Amino acid sequence: MAQQILGEFEELVLLMVAAMHDEAYGVSILEGLEKELKKPLNISAIHVALKRMEDKGFVKSRFGGLPKTAEGDERSFTR
């Protein structure tokens, strides 16, 4: 594994993902982090972080149904 260095923000995102037990997706991670950190974040930053971590091998994504949203969007869950 080439790059094993994790940035500060990425670490936070990673922890949030771990805390959500297989039901983490963009908006949920965002809301969770905003609640904990008490400061507004941008969704694109979350996705960038997730993408980077996926490249480094820390997270894996999959497609799946979502019990929360009424419209039945598919979300890519990260673990």
Partner 1 sequence: MQPPKRALQFLRWFCREDCIEEIEGDLNEMFRKNCQTSPRTAGWKFTWRVLRYFRPEFMKPFNNYQSNALGMYKSYFSIGWRNVIRNRGYSLINAGGLAIGMMVAIFIGLWVYDELSFNKYHRNYESIGQVWSFHSDPATSIVDGDKSMQYPVGATLRNNYGQYFKHVLMAWWPGNHTVAVDDKVMLKNGLFVEPGALEMLSLNMIRGSYKSLDEPHSVVLSRSTAEVFFGDEDPINKTVRLNGRMDAVVTGVYEDIPRNSNFGETQFFAPWDLWLSVNEWARRQEADWDNHPINIYVQLQPNVSMEEVNAAMKELYRKNMPADFYKTQERFDPFVQIIPMSTWHLYGNVENGKPAGGRITYVWLFAVVGVFVLVLACINFVNLSTARSEKRSKEVGVRKVVGSRKGQLIAQFLTESLVVVVVSFLFAMIMVGSLLPWFNRLTDKDTTLPLFNPVFWAMSLAFIVLTAMLAGVYPAFYLSSFQPVKVLKGVFRSGHFAALPRKVLVVVQFTTSVILIIGTIVVYQQIQFARNRPVGYQRSSLITVHVSDPAFQNKLDVIRNELRGSGVVAALTASSGPLTAIWNTTNGYEWKGKDPNMDASFAICNITTDFGETVGWEIVAGRDFSKEISTDSTEAIILNEAAVEYMGLKDPVGQEFTDVNEFGQKKWTRTIIGVVKNMVMESPYEPVRQTLYFYNPKVFLGLMHIRIDPNASAADALTKIKSVFNKNVPMAGFDYTFVDEEYARKFAQEERIGVLAGIFSSLAIFICCLGLFGLASYVAEQRTKEIGIRKVMGASVAKLWQLLSKDFMILVIIACLVACPLGYYLMTTWLLDYDYRTEVSLWVFVLTVIGAVLVTLLTVSFHAIRAALANPVKSLRSE
Cα separations in angstroms, 78 against 34, 38, 39, 54: 18, 23, 23, 9
State the burial class of residue 52 (Cβ atoms within 10 Å of its Cβ: 0-12, 13-18, 19+): middle
Size of the site for partner 1 (CB under 8 A): 17
Q: Which residue in 6, 18, 20, 48 binds partner 1 (CB under 8 A)? A: 48
Q: Which residue in 6, 23, 47, 79 binds partner 1 (CB under 8 A)? A: 47
Site for partner 1 in 8-37 (CB under 8 A): 25-27, 30
CB of 45: closest distance to partner 1 in angstroms? 8
